[in-house]
Amino acid sequence: MPLVQPEIRSASQPCEGADLVLDAFLRHRVRHVFIFPGGTIAPILDRIEKRSKIEIVCPRTEQGAGYAALGYARMTGETAVFMVTSGPGVTNAVTPIADAYYDNIPLVVITGQVGTADMRGDLPVRQRGFQEVDTVELMKPITKRAFQVRDIRELPDVMEQAFFLARSGRPGPVVVDLPMNVQRGIADDWRAPAKRTDVLPFVPADKIETLAQWISGASRPVILAGGGVIGANAHQELRALADQYRIPVTMSMPGMGAYPSRASLSLGLCGYAGSQYANLAMYKCDLLIGVGTTFHLRQTGSLPDRTVEKGRIARVDLDVNELRHSRVPLDLEINADAKAALAALDRALHDAPKPDTAAWLNRIEGWKATYPLLTGRPGKLPKPQTVIEAVNKAAQDKKVIVTTGVGQHQVWVPRHFDFDVPDRVLLTSSGHGTMGFDLPAAIGAKIARPEATVICFVGDGSLQMNIQELATIVERKLDIKIVVLDNHALSIVAQFQRQNWKSHPATGDKYNPDFAAIALAYGIAAVSITSQEDIAAKLAPALKQKGPILIHCHVDPEEDLLPMLLGGHTLDDMSHESSF
Ligand SMILES: Cc1ncc(C[n+]2csc(CCOP(=O)(O)OP(=O)(O)O)c2C)c(N)n1
């Protein structure tokens, strides 16, 4: 939606530092900023209000604003802007910024700072300014770059660099720390910044040729698609490769939807919480092709040298350091953008004989029949897996964005809900695994895509990390469906504790409030689901209702995440044993 923006000054007219920040927002066509206010970002808020049509989105905490920004960036494909005040605003913002770093989300973060005269500098004291904190040092390990601007003349170029770096190569967060006197000072000698353009690495033709030969000669190939496929907008190229050459596709958590869950060649989620059939296929393949994936512990288990029993591993990644320091030993490293590499691979395969994968696909069908996804033990209480399947069914022909918290429910969602980018998208905190991502990420996603059905699956534990954002949903009239899977436990940790130590201190048997009543108190419609029959009777009508709704599902607390790949085991050897 193009927005008519007021003038962007290019000539060197005297102005305040805050104006130069706004100029950068306008140059980069920012339409929303996600903020939590405070004195040290007030000058920029004033400029936004007076000089632009940019909408200020103000959730109830910095975490709420940060995760809303992340959901927004993922769903618009644009760099999101996140602004917080100095001191506690900054420290509260650390977690979503780390999330953006580990999950490659382009984010420009503006942090307020005390004036340069009030800074501690190198003095051996704790603090000089009120709400002073060393933002740059705090942010360095979780950002692509953390700037502090002390000279107003540097501001235009630093802002340009921040927007450039956030998107270039492997995207991520960039922080710009702005002392009060820089925001409020007058710049009468500034220059319009130079524009920067991103250059992607050359696709290495010789390596693509080798991979094409390997594919052509493979009898048991598997593709492992990661979030990099979705980030590079390469899902169509990936589908063409898999479908044309009949190669089954498994996905990491951030890669879910890169290939349609429902397609016959789909193996769904792999790894510690994947299916036994996906993991068997990875383990028994003769060629594993990783595209835009880190071969993280969660995908391979704790024995990276034994990811594949006997076969080659090829990996396409934009980040050369990931290839140089791969956890999993590689037979072929291709440093390239996923879209460009898959397009080149398609050309290289054009005249090559197609691999014969029929016997391999038959074998996989056998595994699918032997190890179907489990939908819970029999019993009266609703099963979390059944609830997710019922929501999936009710939302079958809709464009859906799903967000989750972290826990068992986070893993049941990719197992039991169908994803298919760009129509059915999963937003979840992958690398950082942050409880509380759920509700605010749904807010950002709904602001980005008002026409989409946004569903937030959330555990009782995760919900309580950012439950205050129910207010933002009401305030902004956002039609979000919140499905609370309440098992009165921090269940995934409880399961881990029982598996190792036979009890679950601090994580089981939690007292919870009536979340439906809480939603009603905020002004959000709510229903409670307490039996299997309720799922059939109440769920679909609740989802059909217009406007936000919270569906409080009292699910079986004795449901384990099974099967699960435990530490010290290879991918063919998942545990099917209950911890109760
Ligand atoms: C901010 C944060 N703190 C702690 C953890 C550790 N942790 C991971 S999952 C989990 C329990 C989640 O409980 P809930 O949201 O109810 O999900 P469930 O496992 O019951 O589905 C905890 C405590 C975390 N991931 N994030």
Where does ligand 1 bind, in terms of residues with CB under 6 Å? 405-409, 433-436, 459-462, 485, 487, 489-493
Give the list of residues 6+ apart from residue 120 with CB closer than 8 angstroms, or none.
126, 127, 128, 129, 132, 134
Distance between Cα 437 and ligand 1 center (Å): 11
C-alpha of 391 from chain center: 21
Q: What gap in Å lies between CA 71 and CA 442, rounded to an integer?
A: 6
Helices then strands (H, E): number in the chain? Answer: 24, 20
Distance between Cα 434 and ligand 1 center (Å): 8
Task: Read off the pTM.
Answer: 0.97
Distances, alpha carbon 574 to alpha carbons 171, 275, 374, 569, in Å: 34, 9, 13, 7
Ligand 1 pocket test, pick from 95, 416, 492 with the greatest ligand atom count within 8 Å of Cβ, gives: 492
Ligand 1 pocket test, pick from 272, 462, 511 with the greatest ligand atom count within 8 Å of Cβ, gives: 462
Give the pLDDT band (50/70/90) at residue 282: very high
* Residue with CA at minimum distance from ligand 1 atom 19: 407
Q: Is the pLDDT of residue 476 over 70?
A: yes
Question: Alpha helix locations (H) across 79-146?
Answer: 88-102, 135-139
**With the CA atoms of 234, 237, 239 and 244 taken in that order, what torsion angle do they form, in degrees rounded to the nearest 10?**
-170
Give the list of residues 6+ apart from residue 372 with CB closer than 8 angstroms, or none.
none
Ligand 1 pocket test, pick from 67, 490, 498, 561 with the greatest ligand atom count within 8 Å of Cβ, gives: 490
C-alpha of 122 from chain center: 37
User: How many other β-carbons are positioned within 10 Å of the β-carbon of residue 71?
Assistant: 31
Distances, alpha carbon 565 to alpha carbons 265, 275, 307, 413, in Å: 22, 9, 12, 17
Distance between Cα 254 and ligand 1 center (Å): 18
Distance between Cα 462 and ligand 1 center (Å): 6
Give the pLDDT band (50/70/90) at residue 3: very low
pLDDT digits (tens, 9 = 90+) for 503-547: 999 999 999 999 999 999 999 999 999 999 999 999 999 999 999
Q: Is the pLDDT of residue 10 over 70?
A: no
Q: Are 334 and 306 in contact (CB under 8 A)?
A: no
Distances, alpha carbon 181 to alpha carbons 47, 116, 127, 296, 409, in Å: 15, 7, 18, 44, 47
DSSP-derived letter for residue 420 is: B
Q: Is the pLDDT of residue 6 over 60?
A: no
Mean pLDDT of 319-326: 97
Q: Which residues sit opposite 427 in a β-bridge? A: 403
Rg from Cα positions in the chain: 25
Give the list of residues 6+ apart from residue 50 with CB closer than 8 angstroms, or none.
none
pLDDT digits (tens, 9 = 90+) for 42-84: 999 999 999 999 999 999 999 999 999 999 999 999 999 999 9
